[in-house]
Structure 1
Amino acid sequence: MANSVEKVERKASKFQWFMMAFLIPLLTVIAVGLVLLQISGVNVFQEVSKMGEKVSVLQSVFGDGEEAVKELENRSLNLQAEIEEREAQIAKLETKILDKDNAIKQVELEKEQLENQLEELRQIQSDNKRAFADVVETYEAMSAKKAAPILVELEEEEAVKILSQVSPDQLGKILESMLPQDAARFTKLLATEGR
């Protein structure tokens, strides 16, 4: 530990010696020289600038400051325009996304409504099938003499639907109870329907 303290003290003493022996006297000489040149009427900074212009190597390395500033300004303007253009594109894309999201929501609502309507129609169809089955049962339970005149008065399509669902025995009895021309017409309709 004592060894590391000694190293730090040596480094500090070397730095102090460098400051006292070299750096402070050099800075003092430069400051006094600048003051004397200013008093004698020489603009030191202007002279250094002239010498810098004469040295072509320095000019080619550092270039003209105004051109560099103008180029940087142009690049900055171009980048700003590009940023604004990209922001406009982003805004358009966000608008499209919102429109598509709204369209998707609208389609989902329509789908839900159609599914509800379909379910209602299925329920109605189921109810109609039950009601139709009840009507067929009623005609099967009726006597053929009472069922025949009622079926003749119905529209042909409805009468044929009912007759196609009754049992073959009941169908035969109902057709026997009809007038021959009505029985022939319904037999023909039942045959074309494919009973």
Structure 2
Amino acid sequence: MAKQNKSIKNKDVVNDGSKKSGGLKLFLYLFIIPFLFALVILLIVANIAEVNVFEKAKELTGNGSKETITEEVKTDRLEEKVVTLQAQIQEKEAQIDQLQLEIDNSAKSNETLLVEQQRLLDEIEKLQVAQTSSKREYAEIVSTFEKMSAKTAAPVITKMSDAEALRVLVSLKPETVAKIYEKMTPENAAKYTELMTEQ
């Protein structure tokens, strides 16, 4: 009887196992296999219609939208950089224009200064020629006074302006000046002597 009880229990266990596996088989045959078959048919139809099911799934789950948002953010950043760089380029171009204007003004100023310098050099040359001529003439005047007699030179010097007379007297030899002073009045001789000592 104990053997019989064991065999009955084993049958129950086998029946329970077959019941469990039968329910799983039934679920597999009725739901899973038709679902997989429908899914395969749906994928074939989507492939023929050239619809990318995986991208559509990403869009529905939100992964695709995140990528789109990040691409939009990248595009916006790139556009901002482009705008910033364009602003910098415009600023640099404005600086270049300003510097070019300063260079042009400087060139014009230099040109004006060069013209003025040339004019001054010409004027200096004329003055040097005049001075050389004046020195030559003055040397001739001094030479003439040297050749004149003291009696004739004294009245001429007293008639000249003090500056001219002083210039002539300074250029003459001391012996000639002494002879001219002898022919002058004491007041005039004293005046010219005082002028010569002040110089």
TM over 0.5: yes
Q: CA deviation at 1:142?
A: 1.1
Structure 2 SS opposite 1:44: coil
CA change 1:192–1:68 in 2 (3 A) is closer
In the alignment, is the contact (CA less than 8 A) between 1:145 and 1:177 conserved in 2? yes
CA change 1:87–1:151 in 2 (3 A) is same
Rg (Cα) greater in structure: 2
1:37 correspondence with 2:46:
yes
2:148 aligns with 142
The AA in structure 1 aligned to 2:148 is M
Structure 2 CA distance for aligned equivalents of residues 180 and 37 of structure 1: 140
Structure 2 CA distance for aligned equivalents of residues 94 and 35 of structure 1: 70
1:104 correspondence with 2:113:
no
Gaps of 5+ in 2: 1-41
Gaps of 5+ in 1: 1-32
Structure 1 runs of 4+ with >4 Å offset: 33-36, 58-63
The AA in structure 2 aligned to 1:44 is V
| 1:94-131 deviation line (CA, Å, top 9, x unaligned) | 11122222222222222222222222222221111111
Q: CA deviation at 1:38?
A: 6.8
Structure 2 SS opposite 1:139: helix
Paired residues for 1:1-195 under 5 Å: 36-37=45-46, 44-45=51-52, 47-53=53-59, 54=61, 56=63, 64-193=70-199
1:30 aligns with none
Structure 1 CA distance for aligned equivalents of residues 196 and 75 of structure 2: 99
Query: What TM-score do the two structures reach when normalised by structure 1?
Result: 0.68
Structure 2 CA distance for aligned equivalents of residues 105 and 122 of structure 1: 25
Q: CA deviation at 1:59?
A: 6.4
Give the total of aligned pairs.
157
After superposition, the CA RMSD in angstroms is 2.7
